[in-house]
Structure 1
Amino acid sequence: MFLSVRIFTPLFVLLAGVQAKRTDNCKLISPSESEQNALSLLEPLTNQNFTAEQHLHETYSYIFQVCGDAGGVKDAGLVQKDKAGKLVSVGSYNKTRAIKGSDWILLIYEGGESYDGHCSKEARKAMIMISCSKSAKNDFSVVLEDNKKQVDCYYLFELDTDVLCPANPSKLSGGSIFLIVVFSCLAVYLTGGFLYQRLVVGAKGVEQFPNYAFWSQIGNLSADGCDFVCRSRGNREEPPTYRGVATEPLGEEPEERDDHLLPM
Protein backbone atom coordinates (compact mmCIF):
# COMPACT_ATOMS: atom_id res chain seq x y z
CA MET A 1 0.00 0.00 0.00
CA PHE A 2 2.77 2.42 0.94
CA LEU A 3 4.62 1.60 -2.30
CA SER A 4 1.57 2.34 -4.45
CA VAL A 5 1.12 5.72 -2.77
CA ARG A 6 4.75 6.61 -3.48
CA ILE A 7 4.31 5.63 -7.12
CA PHE A 8 1.10 7.55 -7.79
CA THR A 9 1.91 10.71 -5.82
CA PRO A 10 4.27 12.14 -8.49
CA LEU A 11 1.60 11.39 -11.10
CA PHE A 12 -1.00 13.40 -9.17
CA VAL A 13 1.44 16.26 -8.77
CA LEU A 14 2.17 16.19 -12.52
CA LEU A 15 -1.52 16.28 -13.43
CA ALA A 16 -2.11 19.16 -11.04
CA GLY A 17 0.76 21.06 -12.65
CA VAL A 18 -0.67 20.51 -16.12
CA GLN A 19 -4.08 21.84 -15.12
CA ALA A 20 -2.69 24.93 -13.34
CA LYS A 21 -2.30 28.07 -15.44
CA ARG A 22 0.60 30.47 -15.25
CA THR A 23 -1.82 33.39 -15.56
CA ASP A 24 -3.24 32.36 -12.17
CA ASN A 25 -0.11 33.99 -10.69
CA CYS A 26 -1.58 37.38 -11.54
CA LYS A 27 -3.59 38.82 -8.65
CA LEU A 28 -6.42 41.00 -9.91
CA ILE A 29 -7.16 44.17 -7.93
CA SER A 30 -10.89 43.81 -8.62
CA PRO A 31 -11.46 40.19 -9.70
CA SER A 32 -14.21 39.66 -12.27
CA GLU A 33 -15.10 37.01 -14.80
CA SER A 34 -14.27 39.26 -17.76
CA GLU A 35 -10.79 40.00 -16.40
CA GLN A 36 -10.18 36.33 -15.66
CA ASN A 37 -11.14 35.46 -19.24
CA ALA A 38 -8.82 38.15 -20.54
CA LEU A 39 -5.89 36.71 -18.57
CA SER A 40 -6.69 33.20 -19.82
CA LEU A 41 -6.24 34.38 -23.41
CA LEU A 42 -2.68 35.44 -22.55
CA GLU A 43 -1.67 31.95 -21.36
CA PRO A 44 0.37 31.22 -24.57
CA LEU A 45 2.55 34.27 -23.79
CA THR A 46 3.60 33.10 -20.33
CA ASN A 47 7.14 31.86 -19.50
CA GLN A 48 8.62 34.36 -21.98
CA ASN A 49 10.71 37.48 -21.50
CA PHE A 50 9.90 40.39 -23.84
CA THR A 51 12.53 43.12 -24.03
CA ALA A 52 12.60 46.66 -25.45
CA GLU A 53 14.91 49.68 -25.26
CA GLN A 54 14.23 53.38 -24.74
CA HIS A 55 16.69 56.04 -25.84
CA LEU A 56 16.05 59.43 -24.21
CA HIS A 57 18.44 61.30 -21.95
CA GLU A 58 19.59 57.90 -20.76
CA THR A 59 19.29 54.47 -22.29
CA TYR A 60 17.01 52.05 -20.48
CA SER A 61 15.95 48.56 -21.34
CA TYR A 62 12.69 47.00 -20.18
CA ILE A 63 11.85 43.37 -19.51
CA PHE A 64 8.24 42.19 -19.45
CA GLN A 65 6.59 38.92 -18.47
CA VAL A 66 2.95 37.87 -18.42
CA CYS A 67 2.23 36.91 -14.80
CA GLY A 68 5.86 36.01 -14.15
CA ASP A 69 9.04 37.36 -12.58
CA ALA A 70 10.51 39.68 -15.21
CA GLY A 71 14.30 39.73 -15.10
CA GLY A 72 14.18 37.34 -12.16
CA VAL A 73 12.80 40.06 -9.86
CA LYS A 74 10.23 38.51 -7.54
CA ASP A 75 6.63 39.68 -8.08
CA ALA A 76 7.72 42.15 -10.78
CA GLY A 77 5.84 41.81 -14.05
CA LEU A 78 7.86 44.55 -15.74
CA VAL A 79 11.29 45.94 -14.78
CA GLN A 80 13.51 48.78 -15.94
CA LYS A 81 17.25 48.20 -16.38
CA ASP A 82 19.82 51.00 -16.63
CA LYS A 83 23.36 50.92 -18.05
CA ALA A 84 24.78 49.85 -14.72
CA GLY A 85 22.45 46.85 -14.66
CA LYS A 86 20.26 48.13 -11.83
CA LEU A 87 16.74 46.70 -11.97
CA VAL A 88 13.71 48.76 -10.92
CA SER A 89 10.24 47.26 -10.69
CA VAL A 90 7.85 49.24 -12.89
CA GLY A 91 4.80 47.14 -12.04
CA SER A 92 3.85 44.08 -10.01
CA TYR A 93 1.64 41.26 -11.23
CA ASN A 94 0.27 41.05 -7.69
CA LYS A 95 -1.72 44.20 -8.55
CA THR A 96 -3.10 43.51 -12.01
CA ARG A 97 -5.93 44.85 -14.13
CA ALA A 98 -6.98 43.40 -17.49
CA ILE A 99 -9.29 45.12 -19.96
CA LYS A 100 -10.36 43.13 -23.02
CA GLY A 101 -11.46 44.44 -26.43
CA SER A 102 -12.32 42.76 -29.72
CA ASP A 103 -8.71 41.89 -30.60
CA TRP A 104 -6.68 43.54 -27.85
CA ILE A 105 -6.07 43.39 -24.09
CA LEU A 106 -4.81 46.23 -21.93
CA LEU A 107 -2.74 44.69 -19.14
CA ILE A 108 -1.99 47.02 -16.23
CA TYR A 109 0.62 46.33 -13.55
CA GLU A 110 0.45 48.60 -10.54
CA GLY A 111 2.47 48.63 -7.31
CA GLY A 112 5.93 49.20 -8.77
CA GLU A 113 8.78 50.95 -6.94
CA SER A 114 8.10 54.57 -5.95
CA TYR A 115 9.47 57.47 -7.99
CA ASP A 116 12.47 59.20 -6.43
CA GLY A 117 11.41 62.84 -6.69
CA HIS A 118 8.59 63.39 -9.19
CA CYS A 119 5.01 62.18 -9.57
CA SER A 120 4.58 62.83 -5.84
CA LYS A 121 6.76 59.78 -5.20
CA GLU A 122 3.88 57.50 -6.03
CA ALA A 123 4.33 53.87 -7.05
CA ARG A 124 5.21 53.23 -10.65
CA LYS A 125 2.60 51.73 -13.00
CA ALA A 126 3.02 49.88 -16.31
CA MET A 127 0.36 49.67 -19.02
CA ILE A 128 0.92 47.11 -21.78
CA MET A 129 -1.34 47.25 -24.83
CA ILE A 130 -1.32 43.72 -26.29
CA SER A 131 -2.82 43.76 -29.79
CA CYS A 132 -3.55 41.34 -32.60
CA SER A 133 -1.02 41.35 -35.43
CA LYS A 134 -0.70 38.51 -37.92
CA SER A 135 2.39 39.99 -39.58
CA ALA A 136 4.39 40.86 -36.43
CA LYS A 137 4.92 38.17 -33.82
CA ASN A 138 5.65 39.16 -30.21
CA ASP A 139 7.11 42.59 -31.03
CA PHE A 140 7.52 44.50 -27.75
CA SER A 141 8.21 48.25 -27.78
CA VAL A 142 8.17 51.32 -25.52
CA VAL A 143 5.59 53.99 -26.36
CA LEU A 144 6.16 56.63 -23.66
CA GLU A 145 6.77 57.38 -20.00
CA ASP A 146 4.22 59.91 -18.79
CA ASN A 147 5.88 61.35 -15.68
CA LYS A 148 5.48 65.11 -16.18
CA LYS A 149 2.63 65.48 -13.72
CA GLN A 150 1.96 65.18 -10.03
CA VAL A 151 -0.13 62.03 -9.88
CA ASP A 152 -1.21 59.07 -12.01
CA CYS A 153 2.05 58.70 -13.91
CA TYR A 154 2.55 55.59 -16.01
CA TYR A 155 4.72 53.75 -18.52
CA LEU A 156 3.04 52.67 -21.77
CA PHE A 157 4.19 49.71 -23.88
CA GLU A 158 2.94 47.81 -26.93
CA LEU A 159 3.11 44.10 -27.67
CA ASP A 160 2.02 42.89 -31.11
CA THR A 161 1.19 39.19 -31.26
CA ASP A 162 -0.93 36.74 -33.23
CA VAL A 163 -2.22 35.10 -30.03
CA LEU A 164 -5.18 37.49 -29.81
CA CYS A 165 -6.13 37.34 -33.48
CA PRO A 166 -9.63 35.88 -33.91
CA ALA A 167 -9.84 32.63 -35.78
CA ASN A 168 -11.37 32.67 -39.25
CA PRO A 169 -13.58 29.61 -39.46
CA SER A 170 -14.02 28.14 -42.91
CA LYS A 171 -17.70 28.10 -43.83
CA LEU A 172 -18.79 25.98 -46.76
CA SER A 173 -21.74 27.05 -48.85
CA GLY A 174 -24.66 24.74 -49.62
CA GLY A 175 -23.41 24.21 -53.16
CA SER A 176 -19.94 23.21 -51.92
CA ILE A 177 -21.42 20.70 -49.48
CA PHE A 178 -23.60 19.25 -52.26
CA LEU A 179 -20.60 18.83 -54.58
CA ILE A 180 -18.56 17.20 -51.81
CA VAL A 181 -21.37 14.72 -51.14
CA VAL A 182 -21.80 13.96 -54.86
CA PHE A 183 -18.09 13.38 -55.47
CA SER A 184 -17.79 11.30 -52.30
CA CYS A 185 -20.67 9.07 -53.39
CA LEU A 186 -19.18 8.81 -56.88
CA ALA A 187 -15.81 7.78 -55.45
CA VAL A 188 -17.45 5.11 -53.27
CA TYR A 189 -19.49 3.85 -56.25
CA LEU A 190 -16.48 3.59 -58.56
CA THR A 191 -14.17 2.04 -55.96
CA GLY A 192 -16.73 -0.45 -54.63
CA GLY A 193 -17.97 -1.37 -58.10
CA PHE A 194 -14.46 -1.90 -59.43
CA LEU A 195 -13.53 -4.18 -56.55
CA TYR A 196 -16.77 -6.16 -56.89
CA GLN A 197 -16.37 -6.64 -60.64
CA ARG A 198 -12.75 -7.68 -60.31
CA LEU A 199 -12.81 -9.83 -57.18
CA VAL A 200 -16.32 -11.32 -57.22
CA VAL A 201 -17.38 -11.36 -60.87
CA GLY A 202 -13.84 -11.86 -62.19
CA ALA A 203 -14.12 -9.21 -64.89
CA LYS A 204 -11.05 -8.02 -66.78
CA GLY A 205 -10.16 -4.88 -68.69
CA VAL A 206 -12.85 -2.24 -69.20
CA GLU A 207 -15.49 -4.66 -67.98
CA GLN A 208 -14.23 -4.01 -64.46
CA PHE A 209 -15.95 -0.65 -64.66
CA PRO A 210 -19.24 -0.90 -62.70
CA ASN A 211 -22.34 -1.09 -64.92
CA TYR A 212 -20.17 -0.93 -68.01
CA ALA A 213 -22.98 -1.99 -70.36
CA PHE A 214 -25.20 0.87 -69.19
CA TRP A 215 -22.52 3.56 -69.30
CA SER A 216 -21.35 2.45 -72.74
CA GLN A 217 -24.86 3.09 -74.09
CA ILE A 218 -25.39 6.39 -72.27
CA GLY A 219 -24.18 8.39 -75.26
CA ASN A 220 -26.56 6.67 -77.69
CA LEU A 221 -29.45 7.01 -75.27
CA SER A 222 -28.79 10.70 -74.89
CA ALA A 223 -28.65 11.17 -78.64
CA ASP A 224 -31.94 9.30 -79.10
CA GLY A 225 -33.60 11.47 -76.49
CA CYS A 226 -32.33 14.64 -78.10
CA ASP A 227 -33.48 13.41 -81.50
CA PHE A 228 -36.94 12.63 -80.16
CA VAL A 229 -37.37 16.00 -78.43
CA CYS A 230 -35.64 18.41 -80.75
CA ARG A 231 -35.97 17.06 -84.28
CA SER A 232 -39.16 17.07 -86.45
CA ARG A 233 -40.71 13.86 -87.76
CA GLY A 234 -42.29 13.19 -91.25
CA ASN A 235 -43.02 15.58 -94.11
CA ARG A 236 -45.03 18.56 -93.12
CA GLU A 237 -46.62 20.79 -95.73
CA GLU A 238 -46.41 24.46 -95.22
CA PRO A 239 -49.70 26.21 -94.65
CA PRO A 240 -51.14 28.00 -97.72
CA THR A 241 -50.55 31.39 -96.14
CA TYR A 242 -46.82 30.92 -96.67
CA ARG A 243 -47.01 29.51 -100.21
CA GLY A 244 -49.48 31.99 -101.58
CA VAL A 245 -51.48 29.30 -103.43
CA ALA A 246 -53.88 26.61 -102.32
CA THR A 247 -52.59 23.11 -101.92
CA GLU A 248 -55.62 21.48 -103.55
CA PRO A 249 -55.84 21.53 -107.37
CA LEU A 250 -58.16 24.19 -108.67
CA GLY A 251 -61.41 22.88 -110.18
CA GLU A 252 -62.75 23.99 -113.58
CA GLU A 253 -64.64 27.20 -113.38
CA PRO A 254 -68.17 27.11 -114.87
CA GLU A 255 -68.41 28.21 -118.51
CA GLU A 256 -69.90 31.60 -118.95
CA ARG A 257 -72.67 31.77 -121.54
CA ASP A 258 -73.33 34.92 -123.50
CA ASP A 259 -76.41 33.77 -125.44
CA HIS A 260 -78.43 36.50 -123.89
CA LEU A 261 -76.35 39.05 -125.70
CA LEU A 262 -77.42 37.83 -129.17
CA PRO A 263 -80.28 39.75 -130.90
CA MET A 264 -83.51 37.96 -130.81
Structure 2
Amino acid sequence: MRFWIASPISALPFFVFSLLQLTIASTSNTPQQEPCTVISAQSGNFFDLRPLTRTSASTSSSSSSSNTVHDWTARGHDYPANFTLNICAPVLSDVADVVSVSTSQKSNISAFYITQEGKQYSIGSVSTNPYFRGRKLVLVYAGGSPCPAPDGEEREKSKSSKKKKGSGYRKSTIMSHLCDRDAVRPVISFVGEVNECGYFFEVRSSAACPTAGTQALGPVSVFGIIGLVAALVYLVGGCVYQRTVMHARGWRQMPNYAVWAGLVGGVWALIRSIWDRCASKLHLPRSSYDLIGARRSSLESENRLIDALDEDWGEDA
Protein backbone atom coordinates (compact mmCIF):
# COMPACT_ATOMS: atom_id res chain seq x y z
CA MET A 1 0.00 0.00 0.00
CA ARG A 2 2.87 2.34 0.73
CA PHE A 3 4.25 1.90 -2.79
CA TRP A 4 1.01 2.93 -4.49
CA ILE A 5 0.56 6.02 -2.31
CA ALA A 6 4.15 7.19 -2.79
CA SER A 7 4.10 6.57 -6.54
CA PRO A 8 2.80 10.06 -7.50
CA ILE A 9 5.94 11.60 -5.97
CA SER A 10 8.32 9.09 -7.51
CA ALA A 11 6.63 9.56 -10.90
CA LEU A 12 7.09 13.34 -10.88
CA PRO A 13 10.21 13.39 -13.15
CA PHE A 14 8.53 11.07 -15.63
CA PHE A 15 5.39 13.25 -15.62
CA VAL A 16 7.37 16.46 -16.26
CA PHE A 17 9.37 14.78 -19.04
CA SER A 18 6.16 13.54 -20.69
CA LEU A 19 4.60 16.99 -20.44
CA LEU A 20 7.69 18.49 -22.07
CA GLN A 21 7.48 16.00 -24.93
CA LEU A 22 3.78 16.69 -25.49
CA THR A 23 4.32 20.45 -25.45
CA ILE A 24 7.18 20.28 -27.95
CA ALA A 25 5.14 17.99 -30.17
CA SER A 26 2.14 20.31 -30.06
CA THR A 27 4.25 23.34 -31.02
CA SER A 28 6.09 21.50 -33.79
CA ASN A 29 2.85 20.10 -35.26
CA THR A 30 1.04 23.43 -35.46
CA PRO A 31 -0.98 23.74 -38.67
CA GLN A 32 0.72 25.41 -41.61
CA GLN A 33 0.14 29.12 -42.09
CA GLU A 34 -2.94 29.98 -44.14
CA PRO A 35 -2.41 31.54 -47.59
CA CYS A 36 -2.40 35.34 -47.71
CA THR A 37 -1.61 35.60 -43.99
CA VAL A 38 1.62 36.36 -42.17
CA ILE A 39 2.95 36.73 -38.62
CA SER A 40 5.42 39.53 -37.94
CA ALA A 41 8.72 38.18 -36.62
CA GLN A 42 9.36 41.45 -34.76
CA SER A 43 6.02 42.05 -33.03
CA GLY A 44 4.39 38.60 -33.25
CA ASN A 45 1.21 40.20 -34.63
CA PHE A 46 -1.00 38.31 -37.07
CA PHE A 47 -2.00 39.86 -40.42
CA ASP A 48 -4.72 38.56 -42.74
CA LEU A 49 -5.05 39.98 -46.28
CA ARG A 50 -7.73 37.53 -47.38
CA PRO A 51 -10.57 40.10 -47.03
CA LEU A 52 -8.94 41.96 -49.95
CA THR A 53 -9.27 39.02 -52.33
CA ARG A 54 -11.89 39.55 -55.04
CA THR A 55 -13.90 36.57 -56.22
CA SER A 56 -16.88 36.13 -58.49
CA ALA A 57 -19.06 35.87 -55.38
CA SER A 58 -17.89 39.31 -54.18
CA THR A 59 -19.29 41.27 -57.13
CA SER A 60 -21.64 44.06 -56.24
CA SER A 61 -25.35 43.16 -56.26
CA SER A 62 -26.16 46.70 -57.36
CA SER A 63 -24.34 46.29 -60.67
CA SER A 64 -26.40 46.78 -63.80
CA SER A 65 -25.16 43.46 -65.15
CA SER A 66 -24.90 40.28 -63.10
CA ASN A 67 -21.84 39.24 -65.17
CA THR A 68 -19.83 42.35 -64.25
CA VAL A 69 -16.61 41.56 -62.41
CA HIS A 70 -14.92 43.91 -60.02
CA ASP A 71 -11.16 43.74 -59.73
CA TRP A 72 -9.32 46.45 -57.84
CA THR A 73 -8.13 49.32 -59.98
CA ALA A 74 -5.52 52.05 -59.66
CA ARG A 75 -5.11 55.17 -61.78
CA GLY A 76 -1.80 55.64 -63.54
CA HIS A 77 -2.05 59.46 -63.46
CA ASP A 78 1.00 60.56 -65.50
CA TYR A 79 1.61 56.97 -66.64
CA PRO A 80 -0.21 56.29 -69.94
CA ALA A 81 -2.32 53.43 -68.52
CA ASN A 82 -4.51 52.44 -65.59
CA PHE A 83 -3.99 49.23 -63.65
CA THR A 84 -6.21 46.29 -62.75
CA LEU A 85 -5.20 43.88 -59.99
CA ASN A 86 -6.37 41.44 -57.37
CA ILE A 87 -4.91 40.53 -53.96
CA CYS A 88 -3.68 36.95 -53.43
CA ALA A 89 -5.77 35.70 -56.36
CA PRO A 90 -5.90 35.95 -60.17
CA VAL A 91 -7.83 38.83 -61.70
CA LEU A 92 -11.43 38.26 -62.71
CA SER A 93 -11.11 40.29 -65.91
CA ASP A 94 -10.51 38.76 -69.32
CA VAL A 95 -6.77 38.49 -70.03
CA ALA A 96 -6.92 36.31 -73.12
CA ASP A 97 -5.02 38.86 -75.23
CA VAL A 98 -2.20 39.61 -72.77
CA VAL A 99 1.20 40.00 -74.44
CA SER A 100 3.81 37.21 -74.33
CA VAL A 101 2.38 35.08 -71.54
CA SER A 102 1.80 31.38 -72.11
CA THR A 103 -1.75 30.16 -72.20
CA SER A 104 -1.20 27.99 -69.13
CA GLN A 105 -0.05 31.04 -67.14
CA LYS A 106 -2.81 33.43 -68.16
CA SER A 107 -5.15 32.03 -65.51
CA ASN A 108 -2.62 33.08 -62.83
CA ILE A 109 -2.26 36.74 -63.82
CA SER A 110 -2.98 38.96 -60.81
CA ALA A 111 -2.17 42.41 -62.22
CA PHE A 112 -2.15 43.97 -65.69
CA TYR A 113 -2.64 47.20 -67.61
CA ILE A 114 -3.92 48.15 -71.05
CA THR A 115 -2.08 50.73 -73.15
CA GLN A 116 -3.77 53.40 -75.26
CA GLU A 117 -3.19 51.14 -78.26
CA GLY A 118 -5.27 48.46 -76.57
CA LYS A 119 -2.44 46.05 -75.73
CA GLN A 120 -2.62 44.09 -72.47
CA TYR A 121 0.53 43.63 -70.41
CA SER A 122 0.78 41.40 -67.38
CA ILE A 123 2.74 42.85 -64.46
CA GLY A 124 2.80 39.72 -62.32
CA SER A 125 1.30 36.34 -61.50
CA VAL A 126 -0.53 35.40 -58.34
CA SER A 127 1.28 35.09 -55.02
CA THR A 128 -0.27 34.19 -51.65
CA ASN A 129 2.87 34.76 -49.58
CA PRO A 130 3.01 38.25 -48.07
CA TYR A 131 6.11 38.96 -46.00
CA PHE A 132 7.73 41.69 -43.93
CA ARG A 133 10.57 43.82 -45.21
CA GLY A 134 11.54 45.34 -41.87
CA ARG A 135 8.24 46.80 -40.67
CA LYS A 136 6.71 46.98 -44.15
CA LEU A 137 4.11 44.38 -45.13
CA VAL A 138 4.86 43.50 -48.76
CA LEU A 139 3.24 41.35 -51.45
CA VAL A 140 5.18 40.67 -54.69
CA TYR A 141 3.91 39.46 -58.07
CA ALA A 142 6.47 38.27 -60.63
CA GLY A 143 6.53 36.56 -64.04
CA GLY A 144 4.58 39.12 -66.07
CA SER A 145 5.05 40.12 -69.70
CA PRO A 146 8.64 40.59 -70.93
CA CYS A 147 10.31 43.87 -70.03
CA PRO A 148 11.37 46.02 -73.01
CA ALA A 149 15.09 46.25 -73.70
CA PRO A 150 16.72 49.62 -72.92
CA ASP A 151 17.06 51.90 -75.96
CA GLY A 152 20.85 51.73 -76.03
CA GLU A 153 20.90 47.97 -75.82
CA GLU A 154 18.27 47.66 -78.53
CA ARG A 155 20.25 49.89 -80.92
CA GLU A 156 23.43 47.89 -80.30
CA LYS A 157 21.60 44.63 -81.14
CA SER A 158 19.56 46.00 -84.02
CA LYS A 159 21.97 44.56 -86.58
CA SER A 160 22.68 41.36 -84.68
CA SER A 161 21.15 38.03 -85.60
CA LYS A 162 20.54 37.40 -81.88
CA LYS A 163 18.33 40.45 -81.48
CA LYS A 164 15.39 39.98 -79.10
CA LYS A 165 12.33 42.12 -78.48
CA GLY A 166 12.77 41.87 -74.71
CA SER A 167 15.60 42.23 -72.19
CA GLY A 168 15.20 38.74 -70.76
CA TYR A 169 13.43 40.08 -67.64
CA ARG A 170 9.71 40.04 -66.93
CA LYS A 171 7.45 42.67 -65.41
CA SER A 172 6.76 42.44 -61.70
CA THR A 173 4.72 44.24 -59.05
CA ILE A 174 5.47 45.22 -55.46
CA MET A 175 2.60 46.23 -53.17
CA SER A 176 3.27 47.83 -49.79
CA HIS A 177 0.29 47.26 -47.48
CA LEU A 178 -0.38 49.92 -44.84
CA CYS A 179 -2.85 49.82 -41.96
CA ASP A 180 -5.83 52.19 -42.22
CA ARG A 181 -8.61 51.25 -39.80
CA ASP A 182 -10.94 53.91 -41.21
CA ALA A 183 -10.79 52.59 -44.78
CA VAL A 184 -14.13 51.06 -45.82
CA ARG A 185 -12.48 49.61 -48.94
CA PRO A 186 -8.80 49.44 -49.88
CA VAL A 187 -7.21 52.52 -51.41
CA ILE A 188 -4.65 51.43 -54.02
CA SER A 189 -2.25 54.09 -55.26
CA PHE A 190 0.25 53.72 -58.08
CA VAL A 191 3.63 54.98 -56.82
CA GLY A 192 5.83 54.53 -59.90
CA GLU A 193 7.63 52.21 -62.29
CA VAL A 194 11.24 51.49 -63.23
CA ASN A 195 12.10 50.91 -66.90
CA GLU A 196 8.58 49.62 -67.57
CA CYS A 197 9.64 46.52 -65.66
CA GLY A 198 9.00 47.07 -61.96
CA TYR A 199 5.70 48.58 -60.74
CA PHE A 200 5.16 49.85 -57.21
CA PHE A 201 1.82 50.32 -55.40
CA GLU A 202 0.71 51.42 -51.96
CA VAL A 203 -2.37 49.70 -50.51
CA ARG A 204 -4.13 51.21 -47.50
CA SER A 205 -6.77 49.03 -45.84
CA SER A 206 -8.03 47.75 -42.50
CA ALA A 207 -6.93 44.24 -43.55
CA ALA A 208 -3.32 45.35 -43.16
CA CYS A 209 -3.91 46.00 -39.45
CA PRO A 210 -2.94 43.30 -36.92
CA THR A 211 -5.77 41.00 -35.93
CA ALA A 212 -6.22 38.16 -33.48
CA GLY A 213 -4.99 34.82 -34.72
CA THR A 214 -3.84 31.42 -33.51
CA GLN A 215 -0.17 31.54 -32.68
CA ALA A 216 2.21 28.93 -31.36
CA LEU A 217 3.46 29.25 -27.82
CA GLY A 218 6.93 30.70 -27.42
CA PRO A 219 9.74 28.90 -25.57
CA VAL A 220 9.30 31.08 -22.47
CA SER A 221 5.58 30.28 -22.29
CA VAL A 222 6.21 26.55 -22.79
CA PHE A 223 8.74 26.27 -19.97
CA GLY A 224 6.62 28.56 -17.77
CA ILE A 225 3.65 26.18 -18.13
CA ILE A 226 5.88 23.18 -17.44
CA GLY A 227 7.30 24.82 -14.32
CA LEU A 228 3.82 25.72 -13.04
CA VAL A 229 2.51 22.18 -13.54
CA ALA A 230 5.62 20.69 -11.90
CA ALA A 231 5.18 22.97 -8.87
CA LEU A 232 1.51 21.99 -8.52
CA VAL A 233 2.36 18.29 -8.76
CA TYR A 234 5.13 18.74 -6.17
CA LEU A 235 2.86 20.52 -3.67
CA VAL A 236 -0.27 18.41 -4.10
CA GLY A 237 1.53 15.08 -4.37
CA GLY A 238 3.84 15.93 -1.46
CA CYS A 239 0.95 16.97 0.80
CA VAL A 240 -0.93 13.75 0.01
CA TYR A 241 2.16 11.68 0.78
CA GLN A 242 2.95 13.49 4.06
CA ARG A 243 -0.65 13.25 5.25
CA THR A 244 -1.40 9.65 4.31
CA VAL A 245 1.99 7.99 4.80
CA MET A 246 3.76 10.14 7.40
CA HIS A 247 0.49 11.09 9.20
CA ALA A 248 1.58 14.74 9.31
CA ARG A 249 -0.85 17.53 10.12
CA GLY A 250 -0.85 21.29 9.74
CA TRP A 251 2.15 22.89 8.07
CA ARG A 252 4.09 19.65 8.43
CA GLN A 253 2.06 18.26 5.54
CA MET A 254 4.12 20.43 3.21
CA PRO A 255 6.75 18.36 1.35
CA ASN A 256 10.25 18.83 2.77
CA TYR A 257 8.83 20.83 5.66
CA ALA A 258 12.09 20.75 7.65
CA VAL A 259 14.03 22.23 4.73
CA TRP A 260 11.51 25.02 4.10
CA ALA A 261 11.16 25.76 7.83
CA GLY A 262 14.94 25.98 8.22
CA LEU A 263 15.14 28.27 5.18
CA VAL A 264 12.40 30.56 6.49
CA GLY A 265 13.97 30.54 9.96
CA GLY A 266 17.38 31.45 8.54
CA VAL A 267 15.92 34.33 6.52
CA TRP A 268 14.00 35.57 9.58
CA ALA A 269 17.12 35.37 11.76
CA LEU A 270 19.04 37.37 9.15
CA ILE A 271 16.31 40.03 9.10
CA ARG A 272 16.34 40.19 12.94
CA SER A 273 20.12 40.52 12.98
CA ILE A 274 20.07 43.38 10.47
CA TRP A 275 17.26 45.13 12.35
CA ASP A 276 19.03 44.81 15.70
CA ARG A 277 22.24 46.26 14.26
CA CYS A 278 20.38 49.20 12.80
CA ALA A 279 18.32 49.67 15.99
CA SER A 280 21.45 49.75 18.17
CA LYS A 281 22.98 52.48 16.03
CA LEU A 282 19.81 54.56 15.66
CA HIS A 283 18.56 53.93 19.21
CA LEU A 284 15.34 52.36 17.97
CA PRO A 285 13.27 49.62 19.63
CA ARG A 286 14.65 46.20 18.92
CA SER A 287 12.78 43.24 17.56
CA SER A 288 9.59 42.02 19.20
CA TYR A 289 11.37 38.94 20.54
CA ASP A 290 13.85 41.10 22.42
CA LEU A 291 11.02 43.23 23.83
CA ILE A 292 9.18 40.11 24.98
CA GLY A 293 12.37 38.81 26.57
CA ALA A 294 12.91 42.11 28.35
CA ARG A 295 9.31 42.05 29.58
CA ARG A 296 9.74 38.51 30.91
CA SER A 297 12.97 39.48 32.68
CA SER A 298 11.18 42.44 34.29
CA LEU A 299 8.34 40.22 35.50
CA GLU A 300 10.79 37.69 36.95
CA SER A 301 12.59 40.49 38.85
CA GLU A 302 9.29 41.74 40.22
CA ASN A 303 8.35 38.22 41.34
CA ARG A 304 11.70 37.75 43.11
CA LEU A 305 11.29 41.09 44.87
CA ILE A 306 7.78 40.13 46.03
CA ASP A 307 9.03 36.77 47.30
CA ALA A 308 11.86 38.46 49.19
CA LEU A 309 9.44 40.93 50.83
CA ASP A 310 7.11 38.08 51.81
CA GLU A 311 10.00 36.28 53.50
CA ASP A 312 11.01 39.44 55.42
CA TRP A 313 7.48 40.02 56.61
CA GLY A 314 7.21 36.40 57.68
CA GLU A 315 10.37 36.63 59.81
CA ASP A 316 9.19 39.89 61.44
CA ALA A 317 5.92 38.26 62.31
Question: What TM-score results when the alignment is normalised by the length of structure 2?
Answer: 0.36
Higher relative strand content = 1
Question: What TM-score results when the alignment is normalised by the length of structure 1?
Answer: 0.42
Instruction: Name the larger-Rg structure.
Output: 1
